[in-house]
Amino acid sequence: MAAAAPPMPRGAPAGEPTYGDVNRDIIKTLAPPGKRWFLGMAIVLSGLAFGAFCWALQLRAGIGVTNYMPPIFWGTYITTFVFWVGIAHSGTLISAILFLFRSGWRSAVYRASEAMTVFAVMTAGLFPVLHLGRAWFAYWVFPYPNVRGLWANFKSPLVWDVFAISTYLTVSATFLFMGLIPDIAAVRDQATGWRRRVYGILSFGWRNSDREWHHFMRMYLFLAALSTPLVLSVHSVVSWDFAMGIVPGWHATIFAPYFVAGAIFSGCGMVITILVPLRKLFQLERYLRVRHFENLAKLCLLTSMIVSYAYITEYFVAWYSGNPIERASFYNRAFGGYWWASWIMITCNAFVPQLLWFKKIRTSIPTLFVISLFINIGMWFERFVIIVTSLSHEFEPWQWTSAYRPNWIELGILLGSFCWFSMWFLLFVKFFPSVAISEVKEALPPPGREHGRGGH
Amino acid sequence: MRRRRFLQVAGVAGAGVAAGCGTGTPDHLLPYLVPSDDLVPGIPTWYASTCRECPAGCGILVKAREGRAIKVEGNPHHPVNRGRLCARGQAALQGLYDPDRVTQPRKREGNVWKPITWDDAETEIATALGAAASAGADRVAFVTGAESGTLDRFYDVFLGAFRSTRRLRYEAFAFEPLREASRLTFGLATVPRYDFASARYVLSFGADFLETWLSPTEFGRGFASTHGYRDGRMAKFVAVEPRRGMTGFNADEWVAPKPGTEGMLALGIASSLMRQGKARVAGVDADRLRAILARFDPGTVAEATEVEEAVIERLAREFGDAQPSLAVAGGVAHQHRAATQTAVAVNLLNYIAGNVGRTVRFLSSSPWERVSRYADMRSLVAAMNEGGVDVALVHGTNPAFTLPATAGFVEAFAKVRLKVAFASHPDETAELADLVLPDHTPLEQWGDIEPIAGVRSLVQPVMMPVHDTKQTADVLLSVAQKAGKSVAPAGVATARDLLAAGRPERDFDRLLQAGGEFAEAAPRAVRLTTDFARLGWALPAFDGPADGLVLLAVPHVGLYDGRGANKGWLQELPDPTTKITWQTWVEVHPETATRLGVRSGDLVTVSAGERQVEAVVCVFPGVRRDVVAMPIGQGHTAYGRLARGRGASPLALFAADATDPSGALAFCQTRVTLTRTGGRRPLATTEGSPRQHDRGIARAVAFTAIAAGHAPEEEHEALTESERTAIDSAEASQRRRAELGRYGEDNPKWEMAIDLSRCTGCSACVAACYAENNIPVVGESQVVRSREMAWIRIERFYDGFAGGENDLPTGTDFEVRQIPMLCQQCANAPCEPVCPVYAAYHTPDGLNGQIYNRCVGTRYCANNCPYKVRYFNWWDYGHPASDEYAFPGTLSWLLNPDVTVRTKGVMEKCTFCVQRIRFAQNDARVRGATLRDGDVTPACAQTCPADAITFGDAHDPNSRVSRKKLDERGYHVFQQLNTKPGITYLRRVIRSGEA
Amino acid sequence: MATPPVASMRSGVAGVFGNLDAALLALRELKAHGYANLTVYSPAPRHEFDDLLAKKESPVRLFTLVGGLTGCALGFAYAISTSLDWELITGGKPIVSLPPFVIIGFECTILFGALITVAGMFLNARLPKLRKAAGYDPRFSNDKFGIVAFGGPAQVAAAEEIMRAAGAEEVNDV
Amino acid sequence: MKRTTALIAGGTLLLGAALAGVAIARGQGDQQTAAPAPRWSYPLPPARGTGYSSLDTAQPGGPWPVLPGRLRGPEQPIFYRHDIHAGQYRIPCLYCHNNAANSWTANIPTVSTCMGCHLVISAADTAGNPNPEIAKLRDFAARGEPIRWVRINKIAEHAHFPHMRHVNAGLACQLCHGNVQQMPRVFAAQNVNQMGWCTNCHMRRGITRDCTTCHF
Chain segment C48-71, per-residue pLDDT in tens? 888 888 778 888 889 999 999 999
From CA B616, how far away is CA B628, in angstroms rounded?
12
**Residue among D1, D5, D14, D200 with most chain C CBs within 10 A, to mutate:** D14
Partners of A135 on chain B (C-beta within 8 Å) are 905
- pLDDT less than 70: residues of chain B: 1-26, 711-719, 733-745, 993-995
Does residue C93 share a domain with residue C69?
yes
Query: Between B and C, how many residue pairs show a Cβ–Cβ distance under 8 A?
Result: 42
Partners of B835 on chain C (C-beta within 8 Å) are 90
Closest-CA distance, B511 to chain D, in angstroms, reads 28
Number of helices (H), then strands (E), in chain C: 5, 4
The answer to whether the CB atoms of B797 and A67 lie below 8 A apart is: no
Of the candidates C54, C53, C20, which has an alpha carbon nearest to the alpha carbon of residue C38? C53
B854 contacts chain C (CB < 8 A): no
The answer to whether the CB atoms of A147 and D194 lie below 8 A apart is: yes
The answer to whether the CB atoms of C80 and D22 lie below 8 A apart is: yes
Partners of B11 on chain D (C-beta within 8 Å) are 151, 154
Position D57 confidence tier, pLDDT thresholds 50, 70, 90: confident
Which residues, numbered 140 to 199 in chain A, qualify as contacts with chain B under a Cβ-Cβ cut-off of 8 Å? 140-141, 150-153, 155-159, 162
D200 contacts chain A (CB < 8 A): yes
A149 contacts chain D (CB < 8 A): yes
- Who wins on pLDDT, B780 or D66? B780
Does residue C48 share a domain with residue C18?
yes
Does residue C119 share a domain with residue C71?
yes
In one-letter notation, the amino acid at residue B241 is: E
In a domain, C39, yes or no: yes
Query: Which chain C residue has the Cα nearest residue A448?
Result: C19
pLDDT over 60 at D42, yes or no: no
Q: What is the pLDDT of residue A13?
A: 47
Does residue C92 share a domain with residue C42?
no
In a domain, C7, yes or no: no
In a domain, C105, yes or no: yes
Does residue C119 share a domain with residue C70?
yes
Does residue C64 share a domain with residue C51?
no
The answer to whether the CB atoms of A208 and C41 lie below 8 A apart is: yes
Q: What homologous superfamily is domain A30-142+150-443 in, according to CATH?
A: Formate dehydrogenase/DMSO reductase domain (1.20.1630.10)
Partners of D211 on chain C (C-beta within 8 Å) are 88
According to CATH, what is the number of the domain B176-368? 3.40.228.10
The CATH number assigned to the domain holding C148 equals 3.30.70
Q: Which of A43-47, A159-163, B516-520, C1-5 has the lowest mean pLDDT?
A: C1-5
In sequence order, which residues have a C-beta less than 8 Å from that of residue C86 and are 6 or more positions away? A149, A150, A151, D209
Which residues, numbered 673 to 692 in chain B, qualify as contacts with chain A under a Cβ-Cβ cut-off of 8 Å? 682, 686-689, 691-692
Does residue C36 share a domain with residue C81?
no
B740 contacts chain A (CB < 8 A): no
From CA B433, how far away is CA B409, in angstroms rounded?
12
Partners of B741 on chain C (C-beta within 8 Å) are 89, 91-92
In a domain, C129, yes or no: no
In sequence order, which residues have a C-beta less than 8 Å from that of residue B559 and are 6 or more positions away? B565, B570, B571, B631, B632, B633, B634
- Record the pTM: 0.91
D10 contacts chain C (CB < 8 A): yes
A145 contacts chain D (CB < 8 A): no
- Nearest by CB to residue C143, choosing from A23, A230, A439, is A23
pLDDT over 80 at A180, yes or no: yes
Backbone angles phi, psi at B969, to 5 degrees: -85, 0
In a domain, C86, yes or no: yes
A398 contacts chain B (CB < 8 A): yes
Domain B106-173+371-445+469-493: give its CATH architecture. 3-Layer(aba) Sandwich (3.40)
Chain segment A15-59, per-residue pLDDT in tens? 678 888 888 888 888 888 889 899 999 999 999 999 999 999 999
Report helix angle B339-352 to B283-293, nearest 10.
140
Q: What is the pLDDT of residue B962?
A: 93
According to CATH, what is the number of the domain B539-680? 2.40.40.20
The answer to whether the CB atoms of C76 and D14 lie below 8 A apart is: no
Helix (H, G, I), strand (E, B) or coil at A322: coil
- Who wins on pLDDT, B760 or D20? B760
Name the residue range of residue C30's domain. 12-56+138-173
C32 contacts chain B (CB < 8 A): no
Chains contacting A (3 or more CB pairs within 8 Å): B, C, D
Q: In chain C, how many domains are there?
A: 2
The answer to whether the CB atoms of A74 and B694 lie below 8 A apart is: no
Query: Which chain D residue has the Cα nearest residue A147?
Result: D196
Chain segment C102-136, per-residue pLDDT in tens? 999 999 999 999 999 999 999 988 888 877 777 78
From CA B340, how far away is CA B175, in angstroms rounded?
10
In a domain, C44, yes or no: yes
Q: What is the pLDDT of residue A244?
A: 92
Domain chopping of chain A, boundaries:
30-142+150-443
From CA A392, how far away is CA A396, in angstroms rounded?
10
Strand pairing of B201-205 and B325-329?
A: parallel
The answer to whether the CB atoms of C93 and B833 lie below 8 A apart is: yes
From residue B208, give the alpha-carbon distance in Å to each of A161, B246, B365, B685.
55, 8, 23, 22
In a domain, C4, yes or no: no
Q: What is the pLDDT of residue A11?
A: 41
The answer to whether the CB atoms of D149 and B29 lie below 8 A apart is: yes
Does residue C68 share a domain with residue C45?
no
In one-letter notation, the amino acid at residue A426 is: L
The answer to whether the CB atoms of B840 and C90 lie below 8 A apart is: yes
The answer to whether the CB atoms of D151 and B10 lie below 8 A apart is: yes
Partners of D146 on chain B (C-beta within 8 Å) are 7, 30-33
Of the candidates B158, B101, B169, B111, which has an alpha carbon nearest to the alpha carbon of residue B133? B158
In a domain, C132, yes or no: no
Question: 2.60.120.10, 3.30.70.20, 1.10.760.10, 1.20.970.10: which CATH number matches B700-990?
Answer: 3.30.70.20
In one-letter notation, the amino acid at residue B345 is: A
Does residue C111 share a domain with residue C65?
yes
Helix (H, G, I), strand (E, B) or coil at D177: helix
A39 contacts chain B (CB < 8 A): no
pLDDT over 50 at A5, yes or no: no
B850 contacts chain C (CB < 8 A): no
Percent of chain A predicted with pLDDT > 70: 95
What would the 3-class secondary structure string for B700-747 be? EEEHHHHHCCCCCCCCCCCCCHHHHHHHHHHHHHHHHHHHHCCCCCCC
Strand pairing of B140-144 and B166-169?
A: parallel
Does residue C112 share a domain with residue C94?
yes
State the average pLDDT for chain D.
80
Q: What is the pLDDT of residue D12?
A: 61
Closest-CA distance, C122 to chain A, in angstroms, reads 8
Alpha helices in B515-630 (DSSP H): 568-572, 590-596
The answer to whether the CB atoms of C90 and B743 lie below 8 A apart is: no
Work out the end-to-end distance of chain A between its first and last CA atoms, rounded to an integer number of angstroms: 30
Helix (H, G, I), strand (E, B) or coil at B239: strand
The answer to whether the CB atoms of B883 and A61 lie below 8 A apart is: yes
Strand pairing of B602-608 and B671-680?
A: antiparallel
- Nearest by CB to residue B28, choosing from D107, D109, D149, is D149
Q: What is the pLDDT of residue B18?
A: 33
